[in-house]
Copies of this chain bind each other. A is one copy, B any other.
Amino acid sequence: MITVALAKGALLKDTVARFSKAGLDFSAVLDQDNRQLMVPSRCGRARALLVRNGDVPVYVAYGQAQLGVVGFDVLREHQMPVAHLVNLGFGGCRMSVAVKKSSSYGCAADLPPHCRVASKFTNCAREFFDDLDLPVELVHLTGSVELGPITGMAEAIVDLVATGRTLRDNGLVAIEDLFQSTARLIGHPLSLRLDRGDLQSIVEAVRTDKKLNNLSL
């Protein structure tokens, strides 16, 4: 049976819709009352593994799921050995450097050397500031990163920005983008290599957004 790791949260609805078009109905995971973490597709030929964002590439890298859907931001941050298969287009957002609106910084290079930058994505942030040749002290937070500048702990943050509402509500403004992120279909490299066609037909159906016909799962 094919297992697909799906990220709980913002991407889930669009992910289920995309797989549904391809012929695999995982809509049971959207049920408010669903408490199961392993949910079979309606046809019974596949199952969804409902996990946290950051855990999707882990289950795929270890082959416990042959396929997975997760944001490019997570793939950039964790760098797991998985195959990037399809850019699904939805879940668009950008990884940005943001500062207090009242500050004088117009771009990341304006930040003072050795200032503090708070982020959930410290690997992405480190790479970015290394490329800029700007030494900063990274403070790893697990949530509500916007509190960094508000409390005075950090001069700037590196965080995902979708609508920009969270930044605005907290008096922050994005001054530079690291990269754009969208949802990606990823795969377990060895499973793809040993595949006898089933995985590839799901990947193709999801890629072309057309229903798969010849699934022999």
Contacts and interface: CB of A to CB of B under 8 A. Distances in A.
Interface stretch (A15-23, A48-56, A82-90, A202-210): A48-56
A118 to B, nearest CB: 9
A121 interface: no
Interface string A111-144: 0000010000000000000000000000111111
Contacts of A141: 51-52, 55, 58
A54 B55 CA distance: 18
Given A64-B153, A152-B64, A153-B64, A147 B58 contact: no
A149 to B, nearest CB: 11
A53 B142 CA distance: 9
Interface string A1-41: 00100000000000000000000000000000000011000
Count class of interface residues, chain A: 20 to 34
25 contacts: A3-B151, A37-B144, A37-B147, A38-B147, A38-B150, A38-B151, A49-B147, A49-B151, A51-B141, A51-B143, A51-B147, A52-B142, A52-B143, A52-B144, A53-B142, A54-B142, A55-B141, A55-B143, A55-B144, A58-B139, A59-B147, A62-B116, A62-B139, A64-B152, A64-B153
Nearest to A143: B52
Contact of A58 (B53, B59, B140): B140
Given A37-B147, A51-B143, 19 more contacts: A3-B151, A37-B144, A38-B147, A49-B151, A51-B141, A51-B144, A52-B142, A52-B144, A53-B142, A55-B141, A55-B144, A58-B139, A58-B140, A58-B141, A59-B151, A62-B116, A62-B139, A64-B152, A64-B153
